Each structure stands twice: as structure tokens, then as C-alpha cells.
Amino acid sequence: MSHQSLTDARQRYHPGLFRSFFQGSFPCSTACRTPGKRLDMVISSGHDMLLEKDYAALAEQHLLTARDGARWHLIEKIPGQYDWQSFLPMVDAARRQQMEIIWELAHFGYPDHLNIWKAEFVDHFSRFARAMAQLMRDQGIERPFFTPVNQISFWSWAGADVAWFNPHAAQRGKELKRQLVRASLAAIHAIREVYPGGAFCTD
């Protein structure tokens, strides 16, 4: 494509949904690769210590939208009690750098006190989603984006067909997929109680 064609294409493009067409993304999986041993990618990548620099680096490249995640296992260590100290610094840093974040609520991980196969898992996730949405509303976030459950199909296969990570099951992939869909839909309904116009991304 010629330089003139690229220029014409840029002039024709007017972003409507996201702040930037090209987007950044930070690894925020929190899967337990073996029972009781969690790999928190936000920590292992150093992102939790470099929030300001990471978001600023994207902004310098005009990448104004990015995916990042709230780590549910840290926020709800005690059932029904939410500790946002791992999440609020992300919200604050994104605001300072004028970054638009697509927030993941569950990226292969969940609190240790929950059994993912039980109905209570869906209820807990719904309440967590609503509490997170309310926190963001209280923080002045007007137009949030959410991915309630990240990569449902892969999680179902890896976690419940071949036991690569939690819940470390075999031949239960379809069952887990149904449960994750239930949880995702419940979270969407809960978030819309706070943000009727909230937007959701799935993959």
C-alpha cells in the first residue's frame, strides 16, 4: 500500500467504539497450574510495579485502549469481602495516562474458597462483578468496558478436558463451558444494574 493510500485510510477512519483502533494488552492470567500453586502473570511480568510506565508507553505509541485485569483471587480472599488494594492502583494509573481499559474479571483464575462446579460460584461472581462496577462508578469511570470471563472455550478445554490448569478435570469441558457462560451472563446482568450502558467484549 502506498503512503498516499495509508494517509487516505487514516483520514477515513473515525473511531467510534474504542479510543484507538490498535490496542495494547497486558497478561493477567491467574491460573493455578498445579493445585495450590498459582501463576499470577501481573506479578510475574512486573506489571504491578510498572503500571504508570506501562500505560505511558502505550500512550506514547497512540495506543489509547488496552486490556488489563482485576485479580479476583486477591480481591475476594474472604467470601463476600472485597479488598481493592490490588486493583485501585491500576484504575488510578490508567486515569492519569488517559488510558481506556477493557477490564477482565476472570482470566483462568478465581478465589481458592470457591468450587467452580457449584451454583455458588455463579452467585459469587455476579456479586463480585457488581461490586467492581460500583467501585468504578464511584471512581468516576463513565464508559467502562468489561470482559467478564476470558477465553471461555480455551479455559473449558485446558481446565476441564486435559487438566492443564484449574479446575484440573478431565472430560468435563462442556460442563465447565456451561458454568462459565452462566457466570458470564450473571456478571453482565449485575454490571448493568450499575452501568445500564456498559459494554462487553468476549473472545
What domains are there in the chain, each with its CATH number? 23-200 (3.20.20.80)
Give pLDDT, residue 11: 54
- Distinct helix (H) and strand (E) counts, the chain: 8, 7
Q: What are phi and psi of 176, to 5 degrees?
A: -65, -40
CA 70, CA 30: separation in Å to the nearest integer?
A: 10
pTM for this entry:
0.90
Choose among 41, 65, 34, 66: nearest CA to 165: 34
Give pLDDT, residue 148: 98
Give pLDDT, residue 203: 73
How many CB atoms are closer than 10 A to CB 88? Answer: 12
Give pLDDT, residue 36: 84
CA 137, CA 80: separation in Å to the nearest integer?
A: 19
What lies within 8 Å, CB to CB, of 192 at 6+ separation is 198
Per-residue confidence in pLDDT tens, the chain, 203 aa: 455 554 554 555 555 788 888 999 999 999 999 888 999 999 999 999 999 999 999 999 999 999 999 999 999 999 999 999 999 999 999 999 999 999 999 999 999 999 999 999 999 999 999 999 999 999 999 989 999 999 999 999 999 999 999 999 999 999 999 999 999 999 999 999 999 998 998 87
Q: What are phi and psi of 112, to 5 degrees?
A: -65, -25
